[in-house]
Amino acid sequence: MTTTVELLKRHSLPLILALISLLIALGGDEARQWLRYDRAMIDQGEVWRLYSGQLAHLGLSHLLLNLAGLALIWGLYRDALEVWQWVLITIMSAFTVAIGLYSLNPELDWYVGLSGLLHGLFVAGALGGILCGDRREMILLAAIVAKLIWEQSVGALPGTAEMADGPVIVDAHLYGAIGGLVVLAMTPKKSCDTD
């Protein structure tokens, strides 16, 4: 029988991301303004915004949309990678989003949301499943790659800005996916033995 402590440990990464995001949301507009990625404030030395902006959200619908994505990715791929790989992918995807936006999108004044990081988790999870022999994951990987290509050539998917209650920064999705891919390429393959 699985204990509550074991369950919390097993799901600690998404729970921590969700809890921090929820706490920021409870702080309201003031917390969001203080923590969002804000180029002018980063230039003045507030470098925490490179990461904290990815945990702040436009509002409740944006937050719930991102948390639903996080739950879906974790439900699909939790066992595809080792815990340490998930932690490293989270850190690297957040880093590539932050550095990508700062260095490659100088016109972007501000940004909030987990979606870039979620793309990194999704790509890495799907590839981890494929490496363990689950060929069905190829369909999901193809779908996310097609989405990224669409976003880079056409723009945000129709309706996504309305669902999030604000602009969709599609480059963050690409940068996050690259971060997940880089970590997976640099780490040893998980032992795929099933219990």
- Domains and their CATH numbers in the chain: 4-186 (1.20.1540.10)
- pLDDT-derived band of residue 11, with 50, 70 and 90 as boundaries? very high
Q: Which of 45, 69, 39, 66 is nearest to 55 (CA)?
A: 66
What is the pLDDT, as a whole number, of residue 98? 97
- pLDDT-derived band of residue 126, with 50, 70 and 90 as boundaries? very high
Mean pLDDT, the chain, rounded, equals 94
Name the percent of the chain in helix, strand, coil, to the closest 5: 70, 0, 25
Q: Which residues contact 101 (CB under 8 A, 6 or more apart)?
A: 37, 108, 111, 169, 171, 172, 175
Least confident range from 62-76, 97-111, 130-144, 179-193: namely 179-193
pLDDT at 63 over 70: yes
Hey, CA dihedral for 91, 97, 103, 109, is it positive or negative? negative
pLDDT at 84 over 70: yes
Mean per-residue pLDDT, 144-160: 95
Distance CA 74, CA 55 (A): 17
- pLDDT-derived band of residue 97, with 50, 70 and 90 as boundaries? very high
What is the pLDDT, as a whole number, of residue 188? 81
Q: What is the pLDDT of residues 162-191, one digit of tens each?
A: 988 889 999 999 999 999 999 999 988 777
Biggest CA pair distance of the chain = 53
Distance CA 44, CA 4 (A): 44
Q: What is the DSSP letter of 190?
A: P
Mean per-residue pLDDT, 127-147: 93
What is the pLDDT, as a whole number, of residue 41? 97
pLDDT at 49 over 70: yes
pLDDT at 134 over 90: no
Report percent pLDDT > 70 for the chain: 98
- Cβ 42 vs Cβ 101: under 8 Å: no
